[in-house]
Chain A
Amino acid sequence: MFLPSPFKSVLRAKPHVAALANDDGRLVALSGMGVRRSGRWLVRGVDLDVRRGEIVTLIGPNGSGKSTTAKAAIGILCPDEGVAGQRPGLRIGYVPQKLAIDSTLPLTVMRLMTLTGPIAPADIDAALHETGIAHLARAEVQALSGGEFQRALLARAIARKPDLLVLDEPLQGVDFAGEIALYALIKRLRDRTGCGVLLISHDLHIVMAETDTVICLNGHVCCRGTPQSVTDSPEYRRLFGPVAAPAVAVYHHHHDHTHLPDGRVLHQDGSVTTHCHPDDGHHHEAALADGDDDACGCGANHHRLQGFAPAEERHV
């Protein structure tokens, strides 16, 4: 049926989301997902699953389509290509990247907790204590600092007891100690409730240690894999200290291409294409399976453990 897009969502909540089978453990799934805006693909060809109890981390530079992918996964953005699926009745706790709440809205932290649905007072209390902002329950959200507001949003999401917790760049404005604390909190929550977690981070090298799958995006899936424990690497251990080390892990990228400034793709074989498709003959995933440091040979030093500079991050 032809309807302008603003009116489609009026008819039914999330009309484009397919129902996943209830018993295969998948909470949300994307397959071949692409989103196009103004004639340009923001992101294309993304496959992604989050299962019960699983932690998936999306990483990638700014504008690489991380938030777009997450929004498609939870069904608030309709993909232009591919399929988005969701387990029926899935309860989502969402921590958006940033919020602009008008100062004319008198909203206390307490009132924020029940914004999208009723929550038992005991759960609110537990969430506020867990995130360490119980003393701010009566404060207005506009008066909070960036970090406090971030924690209030997190408390709101976990008080819902979600099946899937989605955090969009929760580390913005959070220092390293805060990062460790946040990861510990997410781990506790996952261990206790068995919820799935979809975490978006702009840090290309350091991810939460408990992450089951890292997906590196840059308009498409550049690579995916599991992070490696920091404890295996003396350099990182020295860098983070013994306390922090168990919470974070290192992700080694294994790209077989780099991105030119104009968005085109430079492949390892020296060819340049406008898009990156996994099966266009330029790729060599099989060669990378053994994880050798220089198997890639593309010169983008994805496998070095130390000495990465900000300039190099643009390659990823």
Chain B
Amino acid sequence: MFDDFFLRALVAGIGLAFVTGPLGCLVVWRRMAYFGDTMAHSALLGVALSLLFDLNVMIGVFLVAAVIALSLLLLQRRGALSTDALLGILSHSTLSLGLVLLAFMPFVRVDLIGFLFGDILAVSTTDLASVWVGGVLVLAAIVALWRPLLAGTVSPDLAEAEGLQPERARMLFMFLMAFVIAIAMKIVGILLITSLLIIPAATARRLAGSPEVMAVLSALLGAAAVMAGLFGSLRFDTPSGPSIVVAALALFLLSLLPFRREDRRPQGVRS
């Protein structure tokens, strides 16, 4: 059934969008966009290290992203540098470290562009399976952690005072992000993962009346962007990863248009 490369790409992309939608909402609410970006950038270091130690690339990327997230947590607690500056340091130094390490390994031939911008049309049946199995696991974890995650977003103190464990939820949330980055890398690439987290969530904001609706909507909007982007890339022969992001952007811009009735009240007559 999944012999066709395009169909595989489509199904993998939609599976990924279903996960990045709800996860992206939490990223946006918690103002962690740059944080997600930093974790994604560290994926290249993960790629380089897994090639060096002959590890599965997905496992290597997950481990490095998780370590980066934990060290950020610790450095933040220390409070010597602002989170902003810390993210800036880690984001670009891990990306550069990855590039330098790869350059030291002339014996491995790496499709660098594929890692940076994704190669969704080369998705194998194994990749497809890992996206969907991993995706279902991540979604189940998000559902199980939803209450402490949402309450911790509003106020960690409040959540903890009333018996939840927002700190544990936050840490698991970071592992989920690392996991999603590992499975998303192949599809949209290291540099574009964050867009699939942020843009559908931002698009869903204006249409949603509750956090839960926003999470579901942003999953659907992400899936729509994947479909539109892939068909567009086939039609106009454009790179698939960036095409998906452009489609997501188009949906976002559409959502900015006034669509409610009360927004279109007649304007006053100009003299």
Shortest CB-to-CB span from A66 to chain B, Å, is 14
Q: Is A106 part of the contact surface with B, judged by Cβ < 8 Å?
A: yes
Query: Can you name the residue of chain B whose Cβ is closest to the Cβ of A168?
Result: B157
Partner of B163, one of A4, A6, A116: A116
Shortest CB-to-CB span from B156 to chain A, Å, is 8
Give the residues from 147 to 171 in chain B that come closer than 8 angstroms, CB to CB, to chain A. Answer: 147, 150-151, 153-155, 157-165, 167-168, 171
Contact B157 A106 (CB under 8 A): no
Contact B205 A92 (CB under 8 A): no
Contact B153 A92 (CB under 8 A): no
User: Which stretch from A45-53, A94-102, A124-132, A239-247 is at the chain B interface?
Assistant: A94-102
Give the residues from 64 to 93 in chain B that come closer than 8 angstroms, CB to CB, to chain A. Answer: 73-74, 77
Please, how many angstroms separate the alpha-carbon atoms of A92 and B163 in the complex? 8
Please, how many angstroms separate the alpha-carbon atoms of A116 and B158 in the complex? 8
Contacts of A105 in B (CB 8 A): 29, 153-154, 211
Most buried by A among B150, B163, B168, B201: B163
Contact A93 B29 (CB under 8 A): no
Partner of A108, one of B77, B150, B157, B210: B210
Most buried by B among A6, A105, A111: A105
Q: Is B202 part of the contact surface with A, judged by Cβ < 8 Å?
A: yes
Partner of A9, one of B147, B150, B154, B167: B167
Q: Dominant SS at the B interface?
A: helix
Q: Is A271 part of the contact surface with B, judged by Cβ < 8 Å?
A: no
Contact A4 B77 (CB under 8 A): yes
Contacts of A106 in B (CB 8 A): 205, 208-211, 213-214
Listed in ascending order, the chain A residues whose CB lies under 8 Å from chain B are 4-7, 9-10, 13-14, 71, 74-76, 91-94, 96, 99, 101-102, 104-108, 111-112, 115-117, 160, 166
Q: A92-B162, A106-B210, A106-B213 are in contact. Are A116 and B29 (CB under 8 A)?
A: no
Contact B28 A74 (CB under 8 A): no
Task: Please provide the 8 A-B residue pairs with the shortest distance between their CB atoms, ordered closest to farther.
Answer: A94-B161, A116-B162, A76-B160, A9-B167, A105-B29, A10-B168, A116-B151, A106-B208
Contacts of A102 in B (CB 8 A): 28-31, 153
Please, how many angstroms separate the alpha-carbon atoms of A78 and B196 in the complex? 38
Query: Can you name the residue of chain A whose Cβ is closest to the Cβ of B209?
Result: A106
Contacts of B168 in A (CB 8 A): 9-10
Shortest CB-to-CB span from B210 to chain A, Å, is 5
Contacts of B201 in A (CB 8 A): 104
Contact B211 A96 (CB under 8 A): no
Contacts of A93 in B (CB 8 A): 162
Contacts of A74 in B (CB 8 A): 161
Contact A9 B28 (CB under 8 A): no
Please, how many angstroms separate the alpha-carbon atoms of A91 and B147 in the complex? 17
Give the residues from 186 to 200 in chain B that come closer than 8 angstroms, CB to CB, to chain A. Answer: none
Q: Given A104-B29, A111-B210, 12 other A-B contacts at CB below 8 A?
A: A6-B73, A6-B77, A10-B168, A13-B163, A13-B164, A96-B157, A102-B29, A104-B28, A106-B209, A112-B154, A116-B158, A117-B163
Contacts of A6 in B (CB 8 A): 73-74, 77, 167, 171
Q: A13-B165, A166-B161 are in contact. Are A99 and B155 (CB under 8 A)?
A: yes
Partner of A92, one of B31, B161, B165, B213: B161
